[in-house]
Chain A
């Protein structure tokens, strides 16, 4: 059955770049060839048509400029987005990562001609080791989930190298990010879910019962996705180590710990960093991320290849020569070339260099201050199921007794107040979760305005619930027909010649 909505031709707010095409327009001219002409290869190897748009530079600029205006962004407003650490991205990063020496170096050029890049990578490895308390760091993983996958591969390789082959269980708390079990699933291991106790900590009894000689390790986010630092963290680590397991830290929430405590000191064996969360690499509308992994000494030999190391020691007259080294029992390569150097390492390096040890501690302290301030301002209006001093974020319930308003409605209504919604429906253990992470880069006025908006929305939920059900109403676009998108699956505005729509 076709609904009435589908029969209406949709209104086009901005045409696609293909719609804008007009034969003969040129976006950029290329120089004529300066070499004697060679015949093209035989025709059967060539394509006859290249169905790309034909547009002028001004068409391109205006089109994507229009699109940019449809986006919410950190530069334009506040993102209280739990677990994602949407902090302000310093502008200096954008300039330094585009220095020609970084932009135009080839990953395979001789190390003697790329010492600047290699020193930067080496230094960043050293700094991340120091910040999180690890013996070695790989910068290679491209994102948090990629770092997790790297970590799980290393855990497997570690046990295997000791002939300990019966370990197949990974312990994962019920509040974990979905990437944790998915990373484990890619390895054919079994996930054992560990519940949280009534204070939001890992349930120690359940953990103890699960700990046996088939445990690979535990993947723990601490502070966890409720924004709570586990009150029994030392006991958790002790139990996992006690059965021969390894302790993996999901570094998504590291922003709360900078200069506060080092996961390595707490006994974590390995952890991934999210340079795009903690160290100001911008999120880019979904990527690229950067997910280095730090490890304790007993795992250093298993790191992906290559790492950056000193390949020739220096002396009084010559600086050391930096280059690539291969760990003895490496799990192999996680991606081609040297990791997310330009867009990732250069920005994170600059950020750490500008903060220094005290500045990093300030980040964590003010991130935690802001979160607790918002929690204090909102706890009378929104139920906070695990109510204690939180770290960088907290989780409230987006529902009210006697009302059919849901977290989703509150999230959408916040857009009408010009705020990006918090993360919602995560973690799964809180009903109608609203996960709020203010970050350290918001001032008190913004936090107050946000808290006031949420308090007002709670009132609207009681008095004018349709305002919420129909929200957002002041944005350029309204709620989406997600079912239509999944059912019709239009993924491309250009279709190959002779394409059978019914196939």
Chain B
């Protein structure tokens, strides 16, 4: 099956206009010995067969909306997505549109992105947001580039808290391989040690909020100390938590980034989601990625365009701060529709439901023999549970009860053996939480 709408008769007419005899004649320039390889691929499927095959693959998974009860988060969360969002994403006018380089016929995308930028500014408390990055990890890595550019490469140290998501830290290390940047701090185990690493050499300090273990810290003092040394501070934030907890902006953060997946995007086995990037107005010229600004058209109508494009790679080429070209346009739209639909009160309700259910779960789980909460600090919807035996063993047994257990922290933090990171969202009913507690009692006996 192909989607080629040209009849054999039309094809022959066109070949005649071109002045060649056959389709194959169009490729004489290709070296003959490599021309027209026989590709070893399965025969073409019809739409009906393709649907059946894809259904079979999808059903070979165990999903968290029916097959499994999930307490797994660690950077990607199972939240409810109101129907209106996907109805909007399925509009061909949005999903089959190109990048809005022609503003006269792209105002839909442009205004939607402008609203996304506005909504993300409102949520983080920051002045400006760009049109998005690939995900939270790459947005964080771009913060490193911003700070590096801000100090014209003169400050070569980046201090990263060990409580930033391990995969985000890994991405930063990959991104900075070719730069003269020294990454420090993520081998330290205590947040209080972070201050001692910050010096006049530091361009950027990165912390996570809530941190990877679920704890909510007030970073005001840390940010003051970093600013005293002239460094910038980037806070990696969970956007749902921001509906309830004070904004990183109010703590003095210079850059607030994160993954927008919790805001109306399915987990989709890891992507695509959207990386949000917000900062203060004075850094806007150093910020990577597309940016939509308000203007007026020649008929006096309010309109929107991609602006400050001179920062970007297609103009600046090798002198650009970043090579980023695409944003996550469609998913930024999803986020905008989600934040609009939930609105001021709905998002706060979701956050409070997460908070209430997570605290109920924490309280119940810590009463199971051998289990206790690892930390005493305030937390949002994720917390660390110290278990009586390796998490991998417990999770294998939970799976037999149809439960997807929390994240095994020993994978990234060898000293945290037997520690499980448990996530609870508004999707988890009391019944499910009680089932987890019950299952752990049974694991104890089994």
Given contacts A71-B107, A261-B35, 13 further A-B contacts (CB under 8 A): A13-B301, A38-B355, A45-B216, A67-B108, A71-B94, A73-B97, A105-B62, A109-B68, A342-B272, A359-B1, A389-B26, A480-B296, A492-B128
The stretch among B76-84, B192-200, B382-390 that forms the contact with chain A is B76-84
Is B44 in contact with A337, judged by CB distance below 8 angstroms? no
Is B61 in contact with A115, judged by CB distance below 8 angstroms? yes
| Residues in B whose Cβ lies below 8 Å from that of A283 | 96-99, 329
Residue B161 lies at the interface, judged by CB distance under 8 Å to chain A: no
| Residues in A whose Cβ lies below 8 Å from that of B342 | 27-28, 52
Chain A nearest Cβ from B398, distance in angstroms: 10
The stretch among B133-141, B226-234, B366-374, B437-445 that forms the contact with chain A is B133-141
Q: List the 6 closest pairs (A to B, CB-CB), nearest first.
A: A101-B58, A342-B268, A75-B92, A337-B270, A356-B44, A107-B270
Is B76 in contact with A52, judged by CB distance below 8 angstroms? no
Is A69 in contact with B268, judged by CB distance below 8 angstroms? no
Contacts A261-B30, A337-B270 hold; do A40 and B1 have CB atoms under 8 A apart?
A: no
Is B6 in contact with A443, judged by CB distance below 8 angstroms? yes
- Interface residues in B49-97 (C-beta closer than 8 Å to A): 50-51, 53-68, 70, 72, 74-76, 78, 80, 82, 84, 86-88, 90-97
- Indicate with 1 or 0, residue by residue over A167-193, a CB within 8 angstroms of chain B CB atoms: 000000000011101111111110100
Residue A125 lies at the interface, judged by CB distance under 8 Å to chain B: no
Is A130 in contact with B5, judged by CB distance below 8 angstroms? no
Residue A35 lies at the interface, judged by CB distance under 8 Å to chain B: yes
Q: How far is the CA of A441 from the CA of B20 in the complex (A)?
A: 21
- Interface residues in A106-161 (C-beta closer than 8 Å to B): 106-110, 112-117, 119-120, 127, 130-131, 133, 142-146, 148-149, 152-153, 156-157
Specify the chain B residue showing the minimal Cβ separation from A267.
B34
Q: How far is the CA of A200 from the CA of B349 in the complex (A)?
A: 61
Is A47 in contact with B4, judged by CB distance below 8 angstroms? no
| Residues in B whose Cβ lies below 8 Å from that of A482 | 295, 305, 307
A interface, size bucket: 35 or more
Residue A385 lies at the interface, judged by CB distance under 8 Å to chain B: no
Is A288 in contact with B326, judged by CB distance below 8 angstroms? yes
Is B42 in contact with A356, judged by CB distance below 8 angstroms? yes
Q: How far is the CA of A75 from the CA of B63 in the complex (A)?
A: 32
Q: How far is the CA of A188 from the CA of B171 in the complex (A)?
A: 18
- Interface residues in A1-34 (C-beta closer than 8 Å to B): 5-6, 8, 10-14, 16-18, 21, 25-31, 33-34
Contacts A64-B112, A336-B136, A492-B127 hold; do A182 and B2 have CB atoms under 8 A apart?
A: no
Is A354 in contact with B399, judged by CB distance below 8 angstroms? no
- B134, B294, B323, B357: the one contacting A142 at CB < 8 Å is B134
| Residues in B whose Cβ lies below 8 Å from that of A47 | 242-247, 250
Residue B429 lies at the interface, judged by CB distance under 8 Å to chain A: yes
Quick one: which of A130, A131, A344, A373 has the most chain B CB within 10 A? Answer: A373
Is A11 in contact with B294, judged by CB distance below 8 angstroms? no
Contacts A26-B343, A68-B93, A489-B307 hold; do A103 and B63 have CB atoms under 8 A apart?
A: yes
- Interface residues in A47-81 (C-beta closer than 8 Å to B): 47, 50-55, 57, 60-61, 63-65, 67-76, 79, 81
Is A338 in contact with B271, judged by CB distance below 8 angstroms? yes
Is A285 in contact with B330, judged by CB distance below 8 angstroms? yes
Is B63 in contact with A105, judged by CB distance below 8 angstroms? yes
Contacts A51-B122, A67-B107, A338-B270 hold; do A369 and B102 have CB atoms under 8 A apart?
A: no
Is B108 in contact with A480, judged by CB distance below 8 angstroms? no
- Interface residues in B274-331 (C-beta closer than 8 Å to A): 281-282, 284, 290-305, 307-308, 312-320, 322-331
Residue A496 lies at the interface, judged by CB distance under 8 Å to chain B: yes
Specify the chain B residue showing the minimal Cβ separation from A32.
B353
Q: How far is the CA of A288 from the CA of B334 in the complex (A)?
A: 12
Specify the chain B residue showing the minimal Cβ separation from A338.
B270
Is B114 in contact with A74, judged by CB distance below 8 angstroms? no
Chain B nearest Cβ from A338, distance in angstroms: 4
Residue B404 lies at the interface, judged by CB distance under 8 Å to chain A: yes
Specify the chain A residue showing the minimal Cβ separation from B319.
A185
Residue A440 lies at the interface, judged by CB distance under 8 Å to chain B: yes
Specify the chain A residue showing the minimal Cβ separation from B101.
A423
| Residues in A whose Cβ lies below 8 Å from that of B259 | 336
Q: How far is the CA of A47 from the CA of B242 in the complex (A)?
A: 8
Chain A nearest Cβ from B419, distance in angstroms: 15
Residue B267 lies at the interface, judged by CB distance under 8 Å to chain A: yes
- B67, B106, B296: the one contacting A5 at CB < 8 Å is B296
Is B174 in contact with A304, judged by CB distance below 8 angstroms? yes
Q: How far is the CA of A61 from the CA of B83 in the complex (A)?
A: 11
Is A262 in contact with B96, judged by CB distance below 8 angstroms? no
| Residues in A whose Cβ lies below 8 Å from that of B271 | 107, 142, 288, 335, 337-344
Residue B221 lies at the interface, judged by CB distance under 8 Å to chain A: no
Q: How far is the CA of A112 from the CA of B44 in the complex (A)?
A: 29
Contacts A342-B268, A481-B296, A494-B122 hold; do A106 and B243 have CB atoms under 8 A apart?
A: no
| Residues in B whose Cβ lies below 8 Å from that of A262 | 34, 37
Is B329 in contact with A287, judged by CB distance below 8 angstroms? yes
Q: How far is the CA of A461 from the CA of B195 in the complex (A)?
A: 66
Contacts A54-B344, A153-B177, A412-B104 hold; do A286 and B296 have CB atoms under 8 A apart?
A: no
Specify the chain A residue showing the minimal Cβ separation from B315.
A178
Residue A84 lies at the interface, judged by CB distance under 8 Å to chain B: yes
| Residues in A whose Cβ lies below 8 Å from that of B314 | 177-179, 426
- B47, B64, B87, B117: the one contacting A354 at CB < 8 Å is B47
| Residues in A whose Cβ lies below 8 Å from that of B413 | none
Residue A163 lies at the interface, judged by CB distance under 8 Å to chain B: no
Specify the chain B residue showing the minimal Cβ separation from A363.
B2
- A72, A142, A352: the one contacting B97 at CB < 8 Å is A72
Chain A nearest Cβ from B407, distance in angstroms: 6
| Residues in B whose Cβ lies below 8 Å from that of A398 | none
| Residues in A whose Cβ lies below 8 Å from that of B430 | 34-35
Specify the chain B residue showing the minimal Cβ separation from A503.
B281
- Interface residues in B244-260 (C-beta closer than 8 Å to A): 244-247, 249-250, 259
Quick one: which of B35, B50, B115, B343 has the most chain A CB within 10 A? Answer: B343
| Residues in A whose Cβ lies below 8 Å from that of B291 | 491
Is B295 in contact with A481, judged by CB distance below 8 angstroms? yes
Q: How far is the CA of A36 from the CA of B10 in the complex (A)?
A: 71
Is A365 in contact with B36, judged by CB distance below 8 angstroms? no
- A133, A142, A477, A481: the one contacting B135 at CB < 8 Å is A142
Is B99 in contact with A332, judged by CB distance below 8 angstroms? no
Contacts A116-B60, A287-B329, A354-B47 hold; do A373 and B18 have CB atoms under 8 A apart?
A: yes
Is B26 in contact with A52, judged by CB distance below 8 angstroms? no
Q: How far is the CA of A33 from the CA of B426 in the complex (A)?
A: 9
Is A144 in contact with B326, judged by CB distance below 8 angstroms? yes
Chain B nearest Cβ from A92, distance in angstroms: 5
Is A30 in contact with B344, judged by CB distance below 8 angstroms? no
Is B78 in contact with A104, judged by CB distance below 8 angstroms? yes
Residue A213 lies at the interface, judged by CB distance under 8 Å to chain B: no
Chain A nearest Cβ from B66, distance in angstroms: 7
- A26, A149, A341: the one contacting B270 at CB < 8 Å is A341
Is B177 in contact with A35, judged by CB distance below 8 angstroms? no
Residue B345 lies at the interface, judged by CB distance under 8 Å to chain A: yes
Specify the chain B residue showing the minimal Cβ separation from A355.
B44
| Residues in B whose Cβ lies below 8 Å from that of A51 | 122, 344
| Residues in A whose Cβ lies below 8 Å from that of B126 | 496
| Residues in B whose Cβ lies below 8 Å from that of A153 | 174, 177-178
Residue B147 lies at the interface, judged by CB distance under 8 Å to chain A: no
Is B114 in contact with A179, judged by CB distance below 8 angstroms? no
Residue B118 lies at the interface, judged by CB distance under 8 Å to chain A: yes
Residue B235 lies at the interface, judged by CB distance under 8 Å to chain A: no
- B65, B105, B131, B340: the one contacting A71 at CB < 8 Å is B105
